[in-house]
Amino acid sequence: MSAVPPPSAVDGVDVAALHRWLDARRPQLVDDLVAYAELETPSDDLALLKKGLAHVEEWLAERLGPPVGRAHHESGEHGDVVVLEYAGTGDRPLTLLAHYDTVWSAGTLDGWPVRVDGDRVSGPGVFDMKAGLVQAAWAVRALRAADVPHPPLRLLLNGDEEVGSRFSRPLIEQACADAAAVLVFEASADGALKTGRKGVGIFEVAARGVEAHAGLDPESGASAVDEIARVVLQLHAASDSAAGTTVNVGVVRGGTRSNVVAGTAHADVDVRVRSVAAQDHIDALLQRLTPHDPRAEVAVRGGWNRPVMEPNAAISSVFALASRAAEQLGVELRETSVGGASDGNFAAAMGLPVLDGLGAVGGGAHARHEHVTVTGMVERSAVAAAVIAAFR
Ligand SMILES: [Zn+2]
């Protein structure tokens, strides 16, 4: 049975009043974003990540008070993961996902400082996804100010999202396991919420052959390069643009010299799929790979870095709440499926109701024109507040 309340659950929440309260605090939302974005948090800089995370925790304590629960998981290699619990009514928590790492290297701010220009805030990481976390915190503040109860909240701060969430994945899954729903404050796609995300597979195919002199004794050799070449053709043939499947062998290595039948060869493969069926299809294809020459061996390593988030009824039901909340503001909320993956993919693969892209309105993720609108921050914060309140 779905834990998601019907869309009418937001009707009892005065979204316009929440919006007015937030709108009156625009300068504070902007200040919070600027202070956060002025701390660089590149995924590969442990010292900066620690500093950034400390700032976030301190700021959250100021805005929301001390959490009733806190778990700190030391990563060692990338950013740490912190899970904060906030008390609420009811027994099932709502899990809120945010990552504080960015793709921007240390020193980016020197040439590209955070800038507020009217309704627009630009700077490294503002759209992906520092504004999203600011909006989430202010959504909770707005509910409290209006005396609207909310369910217990579990906020996960992730520090390795931009490098594949390898450390954080089990922690994310643990934080989502008993949740009524999962809200992901990643940026919107041109304002649209993300109800579908492609799955991303990273594989390596390794072929082992038999080395031999290419001129004197070619028959006794089995070429690993020949095996990999056949694999590349089979894999690329599995690309299907209509189905949204892309298979790209981006790197091929193999052999030692032109006059030696190659003993080893490798291919690095990136796969993107839009559906579970396509994911299964690729898995089956990879399992079926066999050497053309029986003396050779072909082995596949790797797996799905991010399982597919396929639009489904559970996801639609949370989107319906957001959509109904936005209607109260006269805003027609759109939904879309995107190629990029997020931590929302992990939660979706567990069969949970997930709403992703609930964060900033703006553009330029991973690009030099990265920016958000303050109007969007206020609007989406109010919508998020209503969605959160619907689970009370
Ligand atoms: Zn992101």
pLDDT digits (tens, 9 = 90+) for 212-270: 999 999 999 999 999 999 999 999 999 999 999 999 999 999 999 999 999 999 999 99
DSSP H helical segments within 328-356, as ranges? 344-349
207 C-alpha to center of ligand 1: Å?
A: 35
Residues flanking ion ligand 1, Cβ below 5 Å: 128-129, 186
- What pLDDT was estimated at residue 89? 95
pLDDT at residue 132, rounded to an integer: 98
Pairing, β 264-273 against β 246-254: antiparallel
pLDDT at 355 over 70: yes
Q: Is the peptide bond before 377 cis (omega within 30 degrees of 0)?
A: no
> What is the whole-number distance in angstroms between the Cα of residue 280 and the centre of ligand 1?
26
Q: Determine the distance separating the centroid of ligand 1 and the alpha carbon of 23, expressed in angstroms.
A: 25
| 305 Cα–ligand 1 center, Å | 15
Secondary structure (3-state) at 338: strand
What distance in angstroms lies between residue 66's CA and the mean position of ligand 1's atoms?
26
Proportion of the chain above pLDDT 90, given as a percent: 97
DSSP state letter for 44: T
Q: What is the pTM of this model?
A: 0.90
Q: At 157, is the pLDDT very low, low, confident or very high (cuts 50, 70, 90)?
A: very high
Cα(246) to centroid(ligand 1), Å: 22
Average pLDDT of the chain, as a whole number: 96
**Cβ-count burial of 369 within 10 angstroms (0-12 exposed, 13-18 middle, 19+ buried)?**
exposed
* Interval between CA 127 and ligand 1 midpoint (Å): 8
Q: How far, in Å, from the CA of 350 to the mean position of ligand 1?
A: 20
Distance 365 CA to ligand 1 centre (A): 8
Tokens of 348: 């979706």
Q: In a 3-state reduction of DSSP, which class is residue 131? A: helix
pLDDT class for 147, splitting at 50, 70, 90?
Answer: very high
Running DSSP on this structure, what letter comes out for residue 221?
A: -
Expressed in angstroms and rounded, the spacing between residue 164 Cα and the centre of ligand 1 is 11
- Quote the ligand 1 centre to 329 CA distance (angstroms): 26
pLDDT at 171 over 60: yes
Q: Is the pLDDT of residue 376 over 70?
A: yes
Q: Give the per-residue pLDDT at 1.
A: 44
- Using the mean position of ligand 1's atoms as its centre, give its distance from the Cα of residue 161 in Å: 7
Distance in angstroms (rounded) separating the CA atoms of residues 21 and 23: 6
Q: Which residues pair with 73 in a beta bridge?
A: 81
Structural contact between residues 103 and 162, judged by C-beta atoms closer than 8 angstroms: yes
Cα(100) to centroid of ligand 1, in Å? 8
Q: Are strands 94-99 and 153-158 parallel, antiparallel or unpaired?
A: parallel
- Calculate how far, in angstroms, residue 192's C-alpha sits from the geometric centre of ligand 1: 15
Q: How many angstroms does the Cα of residue 187 sit away from the middle of ligand 1?
A: 7
Report CA(304)–ligand 1 centroid distance (Å): 18
- Give the C-alpha separation, 206 to 204, whole Å: 6
Phi, psi angle pair for 317, to nearest 5°:
-65, -35
Strands 120-122 and 260-261: unpaired
Mean per-residue pLDDT for 56-78?
97
Q: Which two tokens stand for residue 168?
A: 């954080």
CA of 266 to the centre of ligand 1 (A): 31
d(CA 210, ligand 1 centre) in Å: 45
Mean pLDDT of 31-50: 98
Indicate if the pLDDT at residue 16 is higher than 90: yes
Q: How far is the CA of 185 from the centre of ligand 1 (A)?
A: 8
DSSP letters along 227-269, please? HHHHHHHHHHTT-BTTTTBEEEEEEEEE-S-TTEE-SEEEEEE
Check: CB of residue 278 under 8 Å from CB of residue 308: yes
Per-residue model confidence (pLDDT) at position 3: 81
